[in-house]
Amino acid sequence: MGLDRGDGWWRRAVIYELAVVSFQDSDGDGKGDLAGLLQRTDYLTWLGVDAVWLTPIYPSPMGDFGYDIADFRAVDPTFGTLADFDRVLHALHDAGIRLILDFVPNHTSSEHPWFVESSLSRTGDKADWYLWADGAANGGPPNNWLSRFGGTAWEWSEARGQFYCHTFLTQQPDLNWRNPRLQEALADVMRFWLDRGVDGFRVDASAVLIKDDLLRDNPPNPDAGKETPPPQRFTPVFTDDRPETMGCIEMLREVLDEYDGRVLCGEVQGKTDRIGHFYGSDKPRLHLPLNFALLDSQWDALSLQATIDAYFNALPKGAWPDWVIGGHDKQRVASRIGPAQARVLAMLLLTVRGTPFLYMGDELGKQRSPLPRESVQDPFEKLVPGFGLGRDPERTPMRWDGSEGGGFTAGKPWLPMQDHRSCNVEQQQRDERSLLQLYRQLIELRRKHPCLVDGDYQPRRARNDVLCYRRCQGQTRMSVGLNIANEPRQWPCGGGIRLISTHLDRAVEQVEGPILLRANEGIVVIEAL
């Protein structure tokens, strides 16, 4: 197929996040690897996605799903070698699919050589590559900052005689972004992978790269209650989304822009009205600050209407929108809205204006997989139990068929595969009306009709549980009606040619308005002029 290196490709792309460890095992050790991913590139081509984003594949002790990186310029032996990575990259490019890597600039593993050296002395070459501070007057931590995984964000180093900051696990020390030499080292890491041909990065924890230089205490969270997880009992005013962080992101973008046709996505935090902050103005920042608004919205037509409107209103002029419906640390949306509305979500994701992101298994309607207590691996669940923060249920391996190992492995999977065996690729590929087939057809529809990519978004008033909007480009007007109710609803569309129904049981044909939408049905219509 070949690869289009044109700028702005990410505006047209459907981006598919996959965790290599849970995608396909090639050697029977129960963990997915790059050779396994290579075996499944035909599936990605069949589905029609334009880019894949890989969770970290770097050498790591794997204390936090590989986000504790011990070497930024290599591949963990669990996944293979750099040569395996190159083979995957070239195979994807040959298929016209781009590859985006996770980039983790906030912290490293405590086993990273940078940290080992920084820990030895206060005057060494890398002494200030991490966030070090003396203790409080009573000998305790420097302030009240909390780790996302519970407890203080400070850990004592006997060798250095100081505390180091860790926003996440104790074994994930935070880097000091105020050090120019550290910044240049991270820029060189980016160039290492860009020179190999990767098409961009998703920046992990991009909102927390800089912390308050005065180490001021965070104030109490006024909304905290009995149901609030302990790490959230303070409002992170002095640790999250500091103004200086924007300069860090601008530096990352400058490095990326040394190369043609690359994209910078980023994990951002805060409310919708803050997301525009991460696009930049005088200096560009992220191409795509990841937008999880659909995951956070109440699932009814009026709430969705408001969620979409608020997001579009928050975008700066010229900014390109995006929509994310799943991820390695987000609860499965199908578990919350149910299988019927998961089909409606698919149509919304692939017809609303903006770049769609989905996570492996979302196209199957994969739900949260309950795990026995002894199988839990996620530190969130281990260190902050009882609040439903565990992410293992989202990370269970992909089911390719209905066999015991799901076609994923010939060995024992690294996480139990306790989801329903019928939720697998092979079965849904055979079923012409499956959710997987719906995703494939919607992706193809989006590719055939540029209006669904580049067209203006025109909201219509949501009434009677029907969310609806138009996409308009030139003389083309396409209307989308989504029934959020579990019973039929009238949709006052003017009629035209119905292209697709979420039920996948209606032919392309002329329809007259108003249109009766069946329970949990969405349709796309090209309006008659």
Location of structure tokens 């996959």? 18
Return the half-sphere exposure (C-beta side, CA atoms, 13 A cut-off) of residue 84.
20
Q: Would you give the distance in Å from CA 423 to the centre of its chain?
A: 22
CB 163 within 8 A of CB 141: yes
Tell me which DSSP letter residue 444 carries.
H
Grouping H, G, I as helix, E, B as strand and the rest as coil, residue 402 is: coil
Q: DSSP class of residue 330?
A: S
Buried/exposed code over 504-517 (b: 16+ C-beta within 10 A; e: otherwise): eeeeeeebebebeb
Q: What span, in angstroms and rounded, lies between the C-alpha atoms of 516 and 518? A: 6
**Residue 204 among the catalytic residues:** yes
The secondary structure of residue 110, as a DSSP letter, is T
* Beta partners for residue 456, in sequence order: 472
* Residue 339 one-letter amino acid: P
Token pair in block for residue 196: 């190999």
Give the DSSP H/E element, type plus range, for residue 288. Answer: strand 288-289
Cα–Cα separations (whole angstroms), residue 444 to 71, 199, 302, 457: 39, 22, 29, 20
Axis-axis angle for helices 180-196, 245-256 (nearest 10): 30
Helices marked H in 48-150: 82-94, 113-120
C-alpha span between 375 and 354 (Å, rounded): 38
CB atoms within 10 A of CB 44: 21
Angstrom distances, CA of residue 9 to CA of 199, 231, 265? 10, 39, 13
Considering only CA atoms, which of 307, 324, 228, 249 is closest in space to residue 273?
A: 307
- Residue 387 to residue 381: CA distance in whole angstroms: 8
Which position has the token pair 């609860």? Answer: 331
Provide the residue count of the chain.
529
339: left (phi over 0), alpha (psi -120 to 50) or beta: alpha
Residue 430 φ/ψ, nearest 5 degrees: -75, -25
Q: Which of 94, 125, 184, 258 is catalytic?
A: 258
Longest dimension (CA), the chain: 77
**Catalytic residue chosen out of the listed positions 204, 378, 419, 521:** 204
Residue 190 phi/psi, 5-degree rounding, is -60, -45
CB atoms within 10 A of CB 360: 24
Rounded CA-CA distance 164/176 in Å is 10
Q: Classify residue 406 as left (phi > 0), alpha (psi -120 to 50) or beta.
A: left
> Which residues have a catalytic role annotated?
204, 258
